[in-house]
Amino acid sequence: MKKNSMKQKLVSILLILVLAGTIPLLTAFSNKEPQTLYRVYLKGKSIGLIKSKEALEDYIDNRQNQIKEKFGVNKVYLPEDLDIEKEVTFDNDVSSIKEIYKKIENISPFTIRGYEITIGAVDSQAVDGTEIKGKKQKVYVLDKKIFEEAVDNIVHSFVSEEDYENYANGTQKEIKDVGKIIESITIENKITIKRANIPVDKTIYQDTSTLSKYLMFGTIEDQQKYIVQEGDTIEDIAFNNKISTEEFMIANPSFTSTNSLLYPGQEVTLGILKPQFRVVEVDHVVFDEETNYQTETQYDNTKEVGYSEIKQHGVKGVTRITQKIQKVNGATVDVAAVGTGEVLKEPVNEIIVRGGKKTSYYSGGYGTVVATRGQWGWPATCSSVSSPFGYRWGTLHDAIDIAGCGYGSNIFAAQDGTVVQSAYKYDNGEFITIDHHNGYYTMYAHMVSGSRRVKVGDYVVKGQVIGSMGMTGAASGVHVHFAIWRGYPYRGGTPLNPLSFY
Ligand SMILES: [Zn+2]
């Protein structure tokens, strides 16, 4: 009895041991039988095991049919170095066909024949002078014609068809007296087009209009729309939506001029242009410009204070000016004077006789001031505006850039006032700000280094030379960045369009 019970105990212990070991034991036994599976290799590396090679091939075939249909091609290329090899293995970590397919797609997508276009990087400068780093990018098309037509579309958005045709065919009219000749139209970015197997997981452009949209706006998403309200003008709509009128015109090619008729309820596009390459046009222009006469004040001590008489009326002169103008994507970025200009007619000074004692301001040699254009004096010796006030490329240009007067030409105070800033700043370069004591301030930036003639606290009069035109700070060419502010610039003031003062 005792013996028996011992035996029973032993059996139950063994049973427990066997039961406890059931699961691992069973697995170990089944693994002893190797299975025939397929190992999938991509680029020489195993990406998993599958049960059926045929099932994967069928799945791929099926996907290829979808791709063929989507792109209208008759051949889809498998990734190169995709290998499927039979393997007898104890490894039973089998992947599903779908999992393997996803892995293949992620590592090395299927390709179709097409064109790979590389658009090289070009750095540029924003209107506030900050450097914008360019990015190299690839664009894929089925047919290179699509790309060529889209490039044509973009170029024609910036250069009129007629101008472009004449330039391309060498049929531009020579300049006899005044006129314009396009010296060059170039795309600054290096563009290479090559026939290649292109990956189907990337955007492949199949039509010109979609690609044109991308090349113009940097996206194929629909651009923001605006419904015209009673009383709207193109200028207002553009400014209120932080784009320039030029950009508005390009985004809405159905309008022929900024005075085009708008009607309430009309839908317009407000897209901010982000051209994917830089179309650079260099123009040679010759035009006649009226030159201002100077006003001389003579003091007659025999006459009472307050007496004023024009002894000689001023007559404007005419100067023939030659300039080289550089435009990037339709916007003028630089105006450079060619030579000093040919005087066709000398201006005649205006002479004013005033009574009384000489005032302190006019005794020191400021007897001559640049003629007024209304109340405000023009701050430069030439009048070309190379960059207007307003939005461009998404940034507000809070001044006008006056260019074409030449390096070192005079910059004049636009009105009497007190100098409140005369300094160097990385973006403005050498600059001066004047408080005119009537709520308005003017600012003059990018002067020649060391050319500032006035310091903080100095009183200046309209037409007084305060410095020379240069390109210090963030300036792409010789110009004066001239701003008129209501209130102190950047400290609570509001920048105004200087051109509305002249
Ligand atoms: Zn500027």
Q: How far is the CA of 9 from the centre of ligand 1 (A)?
A: 100
Q: How far is the CA of 127 from the centre of ligand 1 (A)?
A: 7
| pLDDT for the residue 368 | 38
Q: How far is the CA of 238 from the centre of ligand 1 (A)?
A: 19
| pLDDT for the residue 395 | 81
| pLDDT for the residue 158 | 86
Task: Identify which has the larger pLDDT, 461 or 259.
Answer: 461
Q: How far is the CA of 482 from the centre of ligand 1 (A)?
A: 7
| pLDDT for the residue 195 | 96
- CA 69 to chain centroid: 37
Q: How far is the CA of 424 from the centre of ligand 1 (A)?
A: 15
Task: Identify which has the larger pLDDT, 98 or 9.
Answer: 98
Task: Identify which has the larger pLDDT, 271 or 482.
Answer: 482
Q: How far is the CA of 17 from the centre of ligand 1 (A)?
A: 88
Tens-digit pLDDT profile for residues 306-358: 788 899 999 989 989 899 999 988 888 888 888 888 899 998 988 988 887 54
| pLDDT for the residue 54 | 92
Q: How far is the CA of 397 from the centre of ligand 1 (A)?
A: 6
| pLDDT for the residue 28 | 46
Q: How far is the CA of 400 from the centre of ligand 1 (A)?
A: 6
Q: How far is the CA of 151 from the centre of ligand 1 (A)?
A: 30
Position 498 confidence tier, pLDDT thresholds 50, 70, 90 = very high
Q: How far is the CA of 497 from the centre of ligand 1 (A)?
A: 12
Position 32 confidence tier, pLDDT thresholds 50, 70, 90 = low
What single letter denotes the amino acid at residue 419? Answer: V
Tens-digit pLDDT profile for residues 338-348: 888 889 999 89
| pLDDT for the residue 5 | 53
Is the pLDDT reported for residue 124 higher than 90?
no
Q: How far is the CA of 475 from the centre of ligand 1 (A)?
A: 8
Is the pLDDT reported for residue 12 higher than 80?
no
Q: How far is the CA of 77 from the centre of ligand 1 (A)?
A: 53
DSSP-based three-state secondary structure for 273: coil
| pLDDT for the residue 362 | 40
Percent of all residues in the chain with a pLDDT value above 70, rounded to a whole number: 89
**Mean pLDDT score, 438-457:** 95
For 339-364, give the DSSP string: SS-EEEE--B-EEEEEESSPPHHHHT
Q: How far is CA 9 from CA 15, 37, 318, in A?
A: 10, 46, 125
Spatial distance between the Cα atoms of 44 and 40, rounded to a whole number of angstroms: 9
The least confident of 293-302, 453-462, 472-481 is 293-302
Spatial distance between the Cα atoms of 12 and 65, rounded to a whole number of angstroms: 63
Place of tokens 């091939």: 57
**Mean pLDDT score, 426-451:** 95
**Mean pLDDT score, 439-463:** 95
Spatial distance between the Cα atoms of 382 and 211, rounded to a whole number of angstroms: 42
Percent of all residues in the chain with a pLDDT value above 90, rounded to a whole number: 52
Task: Identify which has the larger pLDDT, 126 or 446.
Answer: 446
Q: How far is the CA of 476 from the centre of ligand 1 (A)?
A: 10
Q: How far is the CA of 271 from the centre of ligand 1 (A)?
A: 23
Q: How far is the CA of 428 from the centre of ligand 1 (A)?
A: 9
Spatial distance between the Cα atoms of 187 and 277, rounded to a whole number of angstroms: 7
Is the pLDDT reported for residue 157 higher than 60?
yes
Q: How far is the CA of 399 from the centre of ligand 1 (A)?
A: 6
Picking from 450, 452, 419, 423, the residue whose alpha carbon sits closest to that of residue 436 is 419
Indicate the average pLDDT of the chain. 86
Q: How far is the CA of 472 from the centre of ligand 1 (A)?
A: 12
| pLDDT for the residue 337 | 85
Residues making up the chain, counted from first to last? 502
**Mean pLDDT score, 31-44:** 86
| pLDDT for the residue 357 | 58
Position 94 confidence tier, pLDDT thresholds 50, 70, 90 = very high
Tens-digit pLDDT profile for residues 197-251: 999 989 999 999 899 989 998 988 888 899 999 999 998 899 898 888 888 888 8
Tens-digit pLDDT profile for residues 162-174: 899 999 999 999 9
Spatial distance between the Cα atoms of 364 and 53, rounded to a whole number of angstroms: 98
Q: How far is the CA of 333 from the centre of ligand 1 (A)?
A: 10
| pLDDT for the residue 282 | 96
| pLDDT for the residue 7 | 54
Q: How far is the CA of 459 from the centre of ligand 1 (A)?
A: 25
Position 458 confidence tier, pLDDT thresholds 50, 70, 90 = very high
Is the pLDDT reported for residue 17 higher than 90?
no
| pLDDT for the residue 254 | 84
Q: How far is the CA of 350 from the centre of ligand 1 (A)?
A: 32
Q: How far is the CA of 10 from the centre of ligand 1 (A)?
A: 99
Position 486 confidence tier, pLDDT thresholds 50, 70, 90 = very high
Q: How far is the CA of 215 from the centre of ligand 1 (A)?
A: 27
